[in-house]
Amino acid sequence: MGAVSTAPTSPAARVPFLKGHGTENDFVIVPDPDHRIELSASAVARLCDRRAGIGGDGLLHVVRSAAHPEARAMAADAEWFMDYRNADGSIAEMCGNGVRVFARYLQRAGHVEAGDLAVATRGGVKKVHIAKGADGPVTSATARQDGDITVSMGRAALPRETVTVTVGGRSWPTLNVNMGNPHAVAFVDDLDHAGNLFTEPPYTPSAVYPDGVNVEFVVDRGERHVAMRVHERGSGETRSCGTGACAVAVAAARRDGVDPLVTGVPVTYTVDLPGGRLVITERPDGEIEMAGPAVIVAEGHIAPDLLVPSETAAI
């Protein structure tokens, strides 16, 4: 990763940011249409620091696909690329809540309107639908009543290799679900049994996930209704995880014997997370749709020192 270019980070050319969340999975948003900013991992970690930075579960770097080397091949299908980073600065393939917040930013900035659009990600091009919000003038009372955003998340893969997760002397088998990023889903009797999810729960065999894994703990709340907690790889426990909710719905459908690839009937699960509710539908062709809210809560400018690579930053 290179250093941030000097022009956009000079005091005379401050770098803008926004803050948004989807079911309280929160993100720092850095608009950079022409890809003038090369964000180092250390700079991302400082921006996401909740005490010394802006604070967030991750960072959404907003770049036109044609301007980013990782996305140029997708430029014909999606104008915008979500260059997503975890809170520790590591690069991630995909973030479901992040895509919704990314789309909300594009709408707020006037780049897109309510309706259908495509977003390029490292997990491929994602189809997004922005529902229209409440009718009438936007006021302080209605500004946060925008319609839900639905994201087509693609198909899940279910690798055969699985792990056993152990917390506090209890162990559970998991289902390996890949949503463009890896998930280990465990069904438990009580969400408190997950313990402290700030650090990654121990699992064996570790070789199944050499680069780490997102771990979901799930309980039943009713018919086609579950609740979950999640440890997100690179971020710790978060209030919500969109790809995790999709992985949980896929795992629950297999457990419950309603796999739509077998039955030919779509199945919908309501997934409650600490930060809100998502609705996940898996269709007979395997396509998974996730619907939920996305809100922009703040905007401002980044102090230039936060963007300086750590090896040159003042201590």
Annotated binding site for substrate: 25, 86, 96-97, 181, 214, 232-233, 242-243
Distance of CA 140 to the CA centre of its chain: 27
Q: Count of CB atoms within 10 A of residue 223's CB?
A: 8
- Write down the catalytic residue from 95, 99, 130, 252: 95
The SS3 of residue 158 is: coil
DSSP 238-273: -S--HHHHHHHHHHHHHHTT--HHHHSS-EEEEEEE
Question: Two tokens at 252?
Answer: 């629950």
Q: Which residue has the tokens 């991992």?
A: 41
Quote the DSSP letter at residue 89. Answer: S
- Write down the catalytic residue from 78, 241, 246, 252: 241
Quote the DSSP letter at residue 157. Answer: B
Rounded distance between C-alpha atoms, residue 73 and residue 56, angstroms: 29
Closest CA to 269 of 258, 261, 295, 216: 258
**Does 48 qualify as catalytic in the annotation?**
no
**C-alpha separations of 191 from 184, 186, 225 in Å:** 15, 10, 15
CB 53 within 8 A of CB 89: no
Greatest Cα-to-Cα distance within the chain, rounded to the nearest angstrom: 60
Rounded distance between C-alpha atoms, residue 28 and residue 30, angstroms: 7
> To 10 degrees, what angle do helices 242-255 and 96-108 make?
140
CB 31 within 8 A of CB 60: no
Rounded distance between C-alpha atoms, residue 29 and residue 299, angstroms: 9
Q: Which residue has the tokens 């930013």?
A: 105
Closest CA to 252 of 267, 231, 237, 239: 267
**Does 241 qualify as catalytic in the annotation?**
yes
Please report, in range form, the residues annotated as the binding site: 25, 86, 96-97, 181, 214, 232-233, 242-243
Catalogue the active-site residues. 95, 241
